[in-house]
Amino acid sequence: MAVVVAFQTTGCVDMGIQCWLTNSIQAFTGALLRTAGLVALASLPAGAAQLCSPADIHGPYGLQLDGVTTIAGSEIPIAVVGRLTLDSDGTVSGVTSVNFNGLFLGNPTTGKFDIQTDCTLTLSLQDTSGAFQHFAGTSEPGGGRVEMRQTDPKTHERGWLVRSPDHCDAAAFHGQFDFSLSGHSTPLVSEGVKGAGSAKAVVQADGSGSLVVQRGDAKTGGTYTVDADCFVQLEFGLSDGDNSALVKLRGVLVNDGKELLAVETDPEQVAAARFSQ
């Protein structure tokens, strides 16, 4: 590394020996300090680790997970949506809803979390049955979004924990959204998967409870309601021109209303959905 040093005196104008020594020592010391700083900066790797503070994680968050579990031996699809409040003392409270193999259940949830300075987060949640589930993830600096995975044996769910508004109403969900849905059929299905296993569309929410869904050339309508705690219930048609299905979702608004994380509530389908602006 080439270091260019600009020597600068600090007020000594007498050109005697003492003055010359003072100027030289000050210039040399400054050069060493600047060189050390440059070397330190140069030694940092590209994309150095990000830093987080415990204060970054606070308030309400929307949770979405999906995947499969092999606890019972065979693969069983699962999708989870919830709204959790993370307090400064490391405790968690909220509600989670689970579509497990086509059975949709909701439970109050409590737990604990911990965030490290390297932005790694651990989370343990307990439902009313007393059972614990354990999760780990990595937070963005500032704590707005955490990429999550379940760490219990034989579980393979992944998803997101994203900061949610403190309060919502119908107007909190409005504008145009890109919609995507992907899911799994379940053993409860008697006549095949209802609707598409995956789908994409453009959804327009009017801010007062009505939806327009555009998928290719096909346009359908729907409705939604928004609770004060930012949970959203949606029901709309999804058509590709040849086939159509009625989709029912439960979701939670996050990212200042710019995203909605949801799961399908139809007992014949386990699916996760996302609306994003």
Q: Give the domain 170-276 fold.
A: Lipocalin (2.40.128)
Tokens of 237: 């048609």
DSSP characters for 181-228? EEEE--TT-SSS-SS-SEEEEEEEEESSSEEEEEETTEEEEEEEEE-T
CA angle 270, 193, 186 (to 5 degrees): 45
Sorting pLDDT into bands at 50, 70 and 90, what band is 186? low
Which 3 state secondary structure label does DSSP give 40? helix
pLDDT band for 131, please (50, 70, 90 cuts): confident
- The pLDDT score that the predictor gives to residue 267 is 73
pLDDT of residue 73: 74
Average of pLDDT values for 65-78? 83
pLDDT digits (tens, 9 = 90+) for 81-116: 999 999 999 999 999 999 887 788 888 999 999 999
Give CATH for domain 54-163: 2.40.128.120
Q: Residue 15: which pLDDT band, with cuts at 50, 70 and 90?
A: very low
| Residue 94 exposed, middle or buried by CB count within 10 Å (0-12, 13-18, 19+) | buried
Q: How confident is the model at residue 245 (pLDDT cuts 50, 70, 90)?
A: confident
What pTM does this model have? 0.78
Could you tell me the residue ranges of all domains in the chain? Answer: 1-48, 54-163, 170-276
